Amino acid sequence: MRGAAMAAEFALCAPTRLETAAVRRGLPAGTTSATLLRTGMGRRHAERAAHLLAHTGRPPSGVLVTGVAGALDPGLAPGDVVVATEVRAGERVVACPSAPLLAARLARIGLTVRTGPVVSRDHLVSGAARTPLRDSGALAVDLESGWLAAGLPASTATACVRVVADPATGALWRPVTLAHLRTAARTLTTVAPALADWGAATGARTVLLPHPRSFCAGVERAIDIVERVLVQRGAPVYVRKQIVHNSHVVARLEGLGAVFVEELAEVPAGATVVFSAHGVSPAVRDEAAARGLGVVDATCPLVAKVHSEARRFADRGDTVLFIGHDGHEETQGTVGERPGSTVLVEDLAGAARVRVPDPGRVSYLVQTTLGVEEVAEIVGVLHDRFPALQGPASDDICYATTNRQHALRSVARQADLVLVVGSRNSSNANRLVELARRLGTPAHLVDDPGGIDLAWLPDAATVAVTAGASTPASLVDATVDALRGLGPVDVREHVATTEDIEFTLPKEVRNP
């Protein structure tokens, strides 16, 4: 339920007097919901602390174990911070799904932060004895975190933040050890406000998942095209602009051998180039032909339809008013079809002042990723000014854009917060943020869970999570998992409509 109360108290656990004092110094004044517990060093004390937290009074909404640790990775230096993705103790492993949120919060204040496993032993480990632990993939070793976390109820939000006090190599005790401890203690004081932010965000939540969300048919087709070209022709395969507007998709394809370029001048003569889903102008096609490039066109069929309409309207003598955003690849491609007859209209102000040679010969087209309401308002102004205005035979706004906006509209007012997963240059993801805010719900665009600010969450008992059409579903899953790391989550799927649209692949990449 929107506005439901969040759990109020959490526990910060540190082993020694030195570590506890360092954390206390850094806690913001007025931090009343945190219990700062000095557990004592080692397995026995950690397990006793877990029992105390689990069975004395009301269990805390979350438990965060902090303090110093020994580095296992040679790249870690004293004062560096390790945020555990999981803590290990013997055969027991406790996941810490909220690690991306904590790591991002700490990185924003300028600390060197790594995420990965932290392993706990029941004795001090130094020298060559650390090698097998490092080989297991763990970043740091301590004496308490895993033992304490393993003794907590499964419903307890658990996190671990350790500051490196001694490097991975060298003797444990040496002349610089005290200096390293002082460095680590200062860092513990610095991280304390972030630990308090994490604790304030813990508690049970409801997560609303509007459907549909994430990839549309055009995006799936474009990605499939690049993958097939890589298999059939081998790397490198050049792609003009981002194939779709998502940094994670682009990074994955780069790992497979795709090379993303801004302009065709960066592509070697005779090489293969893929045009992105957003389409290109005839001038770009002519340049590719002149340079002998092997072109594979991944333009979304719905964008190609808009291009066709632009040619048709202009060739019959109309001035084409293209409603879109300046600088967007789709705008550049569509306007480039008939640049002498096409005028860009970006907003209501532009619609109110645009001039045309013949008010009786005017048509309009729309960028496929715009907001439905935004476009309706602009078209209304244009109709008032140009009564003879003609539009496309069907709505230019992509079915996926419309469906995702409709699905979000069905849940946004039930939520305290809307998280839209998508990259900053994704037009349709940005329109989802704008829609939620127009409906009165705070909303933020995040590229992945690391983009979530813990400060957004203390009063957000109900969170809606959706994604733009170029965002992989796995990033939505990761976002929900990160929220689950802050406490129990009741996930509710809200199906507004279903999608079964598929687009055929270009003949160049179809299987023989």
Is 278 assigned a ligand-binding role in the annotation? yes
Is 51 assigned a ligand-binding role in the annotation? no
Is 216 assigned a ligand-binding role in the annotation? yes
Is 398 assigned a ligand-binding role in the annotation? yes
Is 428 assigned a ligand-binding role in the annotation? yes
Q: In this structure, are residues 223 and 250 in contact, taking their beta carbons and an 8 Å threshold?
A: no
Is 426 assigned a ligand-binding role in the annotation? yes
Share of the chain residues as helix, strand and coil, in percent rounded to the nearest 5? 40, 20, 40
In the sheet that holds 294-297, the strands lie side by side as 258-261, 237-240, 272-275, 294-297
Token pair for 326: 């300046």
Is 55 assigned a ligand-binding role in the annotation? no
Is 245 assigned a ligand-binding role in the annotation? yes
DSSP annotation of 416 reads S
Strand pairing class (140-142; 62-71): antiparallel
DSSP annotation of 390 reads B
Is 444 assigned a ligand-binding role in the annotation? no
Q: In this structure, are residues 46 and 39 in contact, taking their beta carbons and an 8 Å threshold?
A: yes
Token pair for 20: 């506890």
The residue among 176, 187, 164, 150 whose CA lies nearest residue 63 is 150
Q: What angle do CA 153, 157, 163 make, to 5 degrees?
A: 115
User: Sign (positive/negative) of CA torsion 122, 127, 131, 132?
Assistant: negative
Is 383 assigned a ligand-binding role in the annotation? no
The phi, psi pair for 229, rounded to 5°, reads -65, -40
Q: Which residue in this structure is represented by tokens 């706990």?
A: 120
- Residue 498, Cβ neighbours under 10 Å: how many? 8
Is 300 assigned a ligand-binding role in the annotation? yes
Q: What angle do CA 280, 448, 224 make, to 5 degrees?
A: 40
CA 448 to CA 446: how far, in whole Å? Answer: 5
The residue among 461, 462, 492, 479 whose CA lies nearest residue 61 is 461
Instruction: Give pairs for 115-118: CB < 8 Å, separation 24+.
Output: 115/82, 115/83, 115/84, 115/85, 116/73, 116/82, 116/84, 116/85, 117/84, 117/85, 117/86, 117/87, 117/88, 118/69, 118/82, 118/84, 118/86, 118/87, 118/88, 118/142, 118/145, 118/146, 118/160, 118/162
Q: Which is the catalytic residue, given 19, 86, 330, 337?
A: 330
Q: Is 330 annotated in the active site?
A: yes
Q: In this structure, are residues 13 and 37 in contact, taking their beta carbons and an 8 Å threshold?
A: yes
Token pair for 325: 């955003």
User: Sign (positive/negative) of CA torsion 73, 79, 83, 86?
Assistant: positive
Q: State the binding site for dimethylallyl diphosphate.
A: 245, 278, 328, 426-428, 470
Q: State the binding site for [4Fe-4S] cluster.
A: 216, 300, 398
Q: State the binding site.
A: 216, 245, 278, 300, 328, 368, 398, 426-428, 470
Catalytic positions, written as ranges:
330
Q: State the binding site for isopentenyl diphosphate.
A: 245, 278, 328, 426-428, 470
